[in-house]
A and B are shown apart, each in its own frame.
Chain A
């Protein structure tokens, strides 16, 4: 009996010690809440989230309404006018420079890797196309940025170098060419793709149209490359109607709403820019009642607000200038009800109209294998597509094109007409409009407002201050190469 007890006690102690010695508990450390990078969720679930992020950013209030649409002078600030005077919030710049890398770009990278592993171009090519779209927005804003060494997590360079803008453009054009070629038939992403519902033909058209956009952007800096790339892109399938537009339709469920509508639900800081309104008024543009609402003071009037005023002056125009159109409003807001179903209004990434204007410009310039004789056709198609895209009718478009000021005149005037109509069509896509203005100077009316902090329009944004603490050597190298980290420094394609 005694021996039994002794052995039981000792056995228990020894057994416990032996168990406690077992060295591998790491099986416990598998996160049961979320799939890991080793066994990722379906590519489509990541793609949906990433596209929502991209759309939320580039269609978003902080990016468009506090920066790009002000620089394009589509929109002006009626209160809290700092950005309209070129004073930008550090936090916003950080959000646009730092965040894309570790949010949507990194998610697209996961989709790309999954697609590459499965050798499914219909999965990886859309992800790659979206990455190029994001990188294009970024390099057009800052010039040199980290590109080739990025998105490798802890396994790649921890302080990625800044690539020169020329190399980035060459890289993006190559990536779009590869993506376009890799797209086959079928619908691998299916309904998870909230842009084209997995329609790879439309992705191919988008890739080619985007390639044409980028080729045209470098037309001044690198004419040979531009014309070659334009020709190659034009030889591929292109968008043929508004049904091919790359845009995100928002669910409008209070969680994923059109970002302008989400902003206008509680904020009332914006009015249509006088620069845009004056041009549209002069042309009697049918898009005026769509882009803008009548003023509160006089419901028969559409009036723009001058950009770059000081706060009290801007404020004094609060009720005498036009808010953006009712289509951007969620119905009820904190300061009134303006109709509209803005929560579900789409955010446009690239439209058929924009592509037509690129083709028209190429034809006008006689590059990319097009001739000036083709310009009018593209111009008319672009204007018509834009008006119908915004809810106007083909008849309105025809009447508009019949206006002597609008009807295509050819030559240098024609080029200005093309770029002016493109600028109007790019409403809500201020980044593209600002880039075209920097490259071409059209429309010439764009100029700093009276209380702007500098006398010239910004040519780029300053880098994120975060970079100076986490990637300072590469930041300094980029500044040394590109020029002062200032709003006035011109980037490669702008020189």
Chain B
């Protein structure tokens, strides 16, 4: 489905580029030449919402004669109809999110005034929507797959991360959330395209790209999740989101949109009624873990049924053990960490008790002032989240000021400033590290009384107090005496001026900057097992990053009609610059306890600083021609000049073409039987180029703050730079169908697509003898094929006003690694316990590759020796992290002032290596380990269904459950689980308090809603949340290390308009 030859022809051919420039130029010149049209009837008026707010960008037109205009910032429009048109006509007004309105007019050669009041409606198949370059276009003329979401669907149940709010609501996207407070969420549109690079889409806010940088240091081995950049955008401030799916829709945005783009439009002063409006919103939830492992409560700490505490480090009977194969919890008296001869009993809730009920409180005030010439908006939001892990919290303060003003009737200026401050405190550590409570509770004694651990952290002599002194820290001590503080300040600003040069020609100049500063400190107290050198009195780390991206864009847009043709041509240029500065210091040992200062370092601190600068200049253009409002063809082209590619390859051009045909308008007869009211087909082909990271072209020496006896040291890095890199290429093609049935009771928007990424830039392993172990190269190809579909149903509408609407989203993506590099069959993306997540040629991206049991060639059963299964020395593909399909089903019931809505989020297929279950079984902690030891210890109870290697006959040897589970390592075959689930993601019951009840309260409107998130999960995945990955990077997707589960939240939301 892709045509590289055509694309390469265009790429390499200056003539082709000139031709393209000519097409755009001609469109502009042509538009000018017919600007002198005859004047006859003038229709003018104003379009407002039901609340009375002006609706800029509304398309007002007379379909029959193809005359029309868009409303300005104040909602005003003027249409001039040629003198030859006379008589009655239908004037239509359409705008994104509103029902189409019509009015009969008589074209009589005079000036007529027609005002419209539009009713809000979620956009489905028709209506105006924001598309690439923040241009509003009629959806019916768009030839690519795009999906719009309005504010309501994002803030119904408030999310701290905008990306999570998209889950289940749009097709073609896949989202991996996080249970950490302020944790990062991964979003991928139409599958991963890049083997080792970024696979997440570009985010645009009001036309300006913003960073979605990941701040997480989390991996399967530890680190903390500090969230990602997009979570700084406050959902309350968003008016609408358009998801541009894949390279086709996003081609105009260039390199970074080859994974698609998410175009966010924020609320402006224009979105409210005229005058001053104040709105206050308050939201509070309580949060609990949604999943807790099922632990066994019959056997306590120890091995082989024995335990006696002396020093907790092996001095007693199995008292160094951090597993639960000890004595039966029958109340016998045993010396324990918290006292001698205490009853040996289960503490069934010892893990549950450690966690607390978290809460989220969010308050926001929102003031808009809307006048005839200018409008402004200000909002302030304060969020406080208390996590479910003790002593972990997150605070966020977000403020936005935006204003727009019409200086003259031709010049409009607008600008906005968003300031966000995040402060995280004691975010828990992820992965296989003591700082992750679930890791600690995987290696645990089921009899441990966590209340005793909560009561004291220190012994009388000042040393640490714990249940085990070999491998673990007291989890409360970890949470309270090993502090972490992080701050992230973000400022996103933008300003633009538009100038209506001629009725058909508009110019715009826009500048914006996205700046953030991120700093984190981690303090590790004396005795921290994972992070403080035992020879010293503690340790600490600090790192700081500040980064800014600025863009300046100029855009000329010409719009003109030629008979039945509407032509819009756009020509733009953009300058982008990125700067980033990093500083860090750390030491593994300090002298005086609890003084986390460099002056107190006992071990020479490690210091580092670095800075990065890069930029792209671009010119781009598009031409859209619509015939008779039902047939549209669009061509786009963009040329980037990147700083990161060699001079000769730094300029690269990429075109796209798409078309759409509203069949039901072209052949109105097909709507006559009433079954089909709207039918549109569309298709397109696009290619997008991408550049490299900075500084990949020339090898530089690596220095170090560590000196060799005071001598400065430099070394060449292991990876060779490459002076002849080419841009990466993504090719996308898609066909789509949009159909509305049964008087718009059912609408379907479906797309089939292919996305292929070639010439990927990544570090390829080389023969080390050349002096480098790897080199940056262009190689590899990965492809995605899929279907995405959305179905909207007006399931039930009763005369008494009761409505039931249903929306179904469906996404099915098939990914394949087509090639890596000559002679290379696999790239390891991540590794844990000899189990890899790999990109293997011929397989989907992200297969799980691990060790299996030996199998009998005849029966296929496990081979056993001495009753225990034997590990094979070979590794096999055991699963694949990609879901077979994902979907969302939402229902909304409305009756009078009441609204009840729900969202089910569905994932089918996909697996991960559950390290939490694997070690949980090994350590005898999980309820699943009770099988075979429900008797006394001298009556071992598991007979493995296998073939004995010595006899060649079925195994008959009994082994203890302890031996059986200890024999798991290093085989991971049994720890690969399906991550399929159905989640009741959102439920909301809203009530618009009737106006009659508000009289005398000085309140114009009041909405009260009960909300719930993650209320229930249906899954076969045992013990942990199937949704969690160890991190949001490419490789973190296949490992579950008992991450903090997503929280189940129940709360209440008030929206008050005084």
Chains A and B belong together in one complex: yes
Q: In this assembly, does B332 line the interface, its C-beta being within 8 Å of a C-beta of chain A? A: no
Q: In this assembly, does B563 line the interface, its C-beta being within 8 Å of a C-beta of chain A? A: no
Select the stretch in A103-111, A375-383, A431-439 that faces chain B: A103-111
Q: Which of A21, A101, A466, A467 contacts B770 (CB 8 A)?
A: A101
Contacts of A16 in B (CB 8 A): 509, 552-554, 573, 575
Q: A153-B720, A192-B711 are in contact. Are A19 and B611 (CB under 8 A)?
A: no
Q: A38-B698, A103-B715, A466-B768 are in contact. Are A25 and B823 (CB under 8 A)?
A: no
A49 to B716, CA, bound (A): 10
Q: In this assembly, does A33 line the interface, its C-beta being within 8 Å of a C-beta of chain B? A: yes
| Per-residue B-contact encoding for A191-225, CB less than 8 Å = 1, 0 else | 11010000000000000000000000000000000
**Chain A 1-58 residues near chain B, CB threshold 8 A:** 5-6, 9-10, 12-13, 16-29, 31-38, 40-41, 44-46, 48-50, 52-53
**Chain B 756-790 residues near chain A, CB threshold 8 A:** 765-773, 775
Q: In this assembly, does B367 line the interface, its C-beta being within 8 Å of a C-beta of chain A? A: no
Contacts of A153 in B (CB 8 A): 699, 720, 770-772
Q: In this assembly, does B507 line the interface, its C-beta being within 8 Å of a C-beta of chain A? A: yes
**B575 pairs with A29, CB closer than 8 A:** no
Contacts of A52 in B (CB 8 A): 708, 713
**A156 pairs with B411, CB closer than 8 A:** no
Q: In this assembly, does B430 line the interface, its C-beta being within 8 Å of a C-beta of chain A? A: no
Min CB gap A45→B, angstroms: 5
Contacts of B766 in A (CB 8 A): 158, 470
**A46 pairs with B611, CB closer than 8 A:** no
Q: In this assembly, does A334 line the interface, its C-beta being within 8 Å of a C-beta of chain B? A: yes
Q: Which of A26, A49, A151 contacts B771 (CB 8 A)?
A: A151
Q: In this assembly, does B618 line the interface, its C-beta being within 8 Å of a C-beta of chain A? A: yes
Q: Which of B603, B711, B715 contacts A194 (CB 8 A)?
A: B711
Q: In this assembly, does A455 line the interface, its C-beta being within 8 Å of a C-beta of chain B? A: no
Residue of B nearest to A251 (CB): B709
**A20 pairs with B715, CB closer than 8 A:** no
Q: In this assembly, does A451 line the interface, its C-beta being within 8 Å of a C-beta of chain B? A: no
Residue of B nearest to A252 (CB): B709
A38 to B698, CA, bound (A): 9
Min CB gap A286→B, angstroms: 31
**B603 pairs with A36, CB closer than 8 A:** no
Contacts of A150 in B (CB 8 A): 769-771
Min CB gap B581→A, angstroms: 10
**A107 pairs with B695, CB closer than 8 A:** no
**B770 pairs with A154, CB closer than 8 A:** yes
A126 to B556, CA, bound (A): 65
Q: Which of A29, A44, A45, A253 contacts B604 (CB 8 A)?
A: A253
Min CB gap A396→B, angstroms: 31
A99 to B643, CA, bound (A): 32
A253 to B587, CA, bound (A): 13
A109 to B617, CA, bound (A): 39
A102 to B702, CA, bound (A): 13
Min CB gap B24→A, angstroms: 12
Q: A106-B771, A470-B766 are in contact. Are A25 and B616 (CB under 8 A)?
A: yes
Q: In this assembly, does A255 line the interface, its C-beta being within 8 Å of a C-beta of chain B? A: yes
A334 to B775, CA, bound (A): 40
**B714 pairs with A31, CB closer than 8 A:** no
Min CB gap A251→B, angstroms: 4
A16 to B617, CA, bound (A): 10
Interface residues in B, total, Cβ within 8 A: 74
Q: In this assembly, does B874 line the interface, its C-beta being within 8 Å of a C-beta of chain A? A: no
Q: In this assembly, does B644 line the interface, its C-beta being within 8 Å of a C-beta of chain A? A: yes
**B556 pairs with A255, CB closer than 8 A:** no
Q: Which of A25, A251, A334 contacts B642 (CB 8 A)?
A: A25
**B641 pairs with A25, CB closer than 8 A:** yes
| Per-residue A-contact encoding for B621-646, CB less than 8 Å = 1, 0 else | 00000000000000000000111111
Q: A28-B615, A107-B716 are in contact. Are A149 and B555 (CB under 8 A)?
A: no
Contacts of A152 in B (CB 8 A): 770-771
Q: Which of A9, A35, A105, A334 contacts B534 (CB 8 A)?
A: A334
**B767 pairs with A159, CB closer than 8 A:** yes
Q: Which of A29, A46, A49, A255 contacts B694 (CB 8 A)?
A: A29
**B711 pairs with A471, CB closer than 8 A:** no
Q: In this assembly, does A300 line the interface, its C-beta being within 8 Å of a C-beta of chain B? A: no
Q: In this assembly, does A59 line the interface, its C-beta being within 8 Å of a C-beta of chain B? A: no
Q: In this assembly, does B718 line the interface, its C-beta being within 8 Å of a C-beta of chain A? A: yes
**B618 pairs with A29, CB closer than 8 A:** no
Contacts of B477 in A (CB 8 A): none
Q: In this assembly, does B82 line the interface, its C-beta being within 8 Å of a C-beta of chain A? A: no
Residue of B nearest to A104 (CB): B715
Q: A20-B617, A25-B617, A25-B650 are in contact. Are A34 and B708 (CB under 8 A)?
A: no
Min CB gap A448→B, angstroms: 25
Q: In this assembly, does A413 line the interface, its C-beta being within 8 Å of a C-beta of chain B? A: no
Q: What is the size category of the interface that chain A forms with chain B?
A: 35 or more
A27 to B770, CA, bound (A): 28
**A22 pairs with B771, CB closer than 8 A:** no
Contacts of A255 in B (CB 8 A): 604, 706
Which DSSP category, helix, strand, loop or mixed, fits chain B's interface?
A: strand
Residue of B nearest to A21 (CB): B619
Q: In this assembly, does B722 line the interface, its C-beta being within 8 Å of a C-beta of chain A? A: yes
**A160 pairs with B554, CB closer than 8 A:** no
**B773 pairs with A98, CB closer than 8 A:** yes
Residue of B nearest to A162 (CB): B769
Q: In this assembly, does A267 line the interface, its C-beta being within 8 Å of a C-beta of chain B? A: no
Q: In this assembly, does A348 line the interface, its C-beta being within 8 Å of a C-beta of chain B? A: no
Residue of A nearest to B606 (CB): A255
Min CB gap A259→B, angstroms: 14
Min CB gap A34→B, angstroms: 4
**Chain A 366-407 residues near chain B, CB threshold 8 A:** none
Most buried by B among A153, A466, A469: A153
A110 to B715, CA, bound (A): 9
| Per-residue B-contact encoding for A93-133, CB less than 8 Å = 1, 0 else | 00000110111011101100000000000000000000000
**B554 pairs with A13, CB closer than 8 A:** yes
Contacts of B773 in A (CB 8 A): 98-99, 102
Q: In this assembly, does A301 line the interface, its C-beta being within 8 Å of a C-beta of chain B? A: no
Min CB gap B15→A, angstroms: 18
**A50 pairs with B619, CB closer than 8 A:** no
Q: In this assembly, does B571 line the interface, its C-beta being within 8 Å of a C-beta of chain A? A: yes
Contacts of A53 in B (CB 8 A): 715
Q: A101-B768, A256-B709 are in contact. Are A19 and B575 (CB under 8 A)?
A: yes
Q: A23-B641, A28-B613 are in contact. Are A37 and B573 (CB under 8 A)?
A: no
Q: In this assembly, does A174 line the interface, its C-beta being within 8 Å of a C-beta of chain B? A: no
Min CB gap B812→A, angstroms: 35
Min CB gap B686→A, angstroms: 21
Contacts of A109 in B (CB 8 A): 771
**B714 pairs with A46, CB closer than 8 A:** yes
Q: In this assembly, does B13 line the interface, its C-beta being within 8 Å of a C-beta of chain A? A: no
Q: In this assembly, does B39 line the interface, its C-beta being within 8 Å of a C-beta of chain A? A: no
Min CB gap B363→A, angstroms: 41
**A45 pairs with B713, CB closer than 8 A:** yes
Min CB gap A258→B, angstroms: 13
Q: A17-B619, A48-B711 are in contact. Are A105 and B573 (CB under 8 A)?
A: no
**B769 pairs with A24, CB closer than 8 A:** no
Q: In this assembly, does B795 line the interface, its C-beta being within 8 Å of a C-beta of chain A? A: no
Contacts of B613 in A (CB 8 A): 28, 32
Q: In this assembly, does A294 line the interface, its C-beta being within 8 Å of a C-beta of chain B? A: no
Which 3 pairs across A and B sit closest by C-beta, in order of nearness? A20-B573, A16-B554, A25-B643
Show the binding face of B for A, using Cβ within 8 Å: 410-411, 497, 499, 501, 507, 509, 534-535, 552-556, 571-575, 603-604, 609-611, 613-619, 641-647, 650-651, 694-695, 697-703, 706, 708-716, 718, 720, 722, 765-773, 775, 823-824
Supply 13 further A-B pairs (C-beta < 8 A) apart from A37-B698, A45-B712, A256-B708. A5-B499, A6-B499, A9-B497, A17-B572, A23-B651, A25-B641, A34-B703, A37-B701, A98-B773, A107-B715, A109-B771, A470-B765, A470-B767
18 residue pairs bridging A and B, Cβ less than 8 Å apart: A6-B501, A19-B617, A20-B575, A28-B613, A29-B644, A31-B695, A34-B714, A38-B698, A45-B712, A48-B708, A98-B768, A98-B773, A101-B771, A106-B772, A149-B769, A150-B770, A471-B769, A472-B823
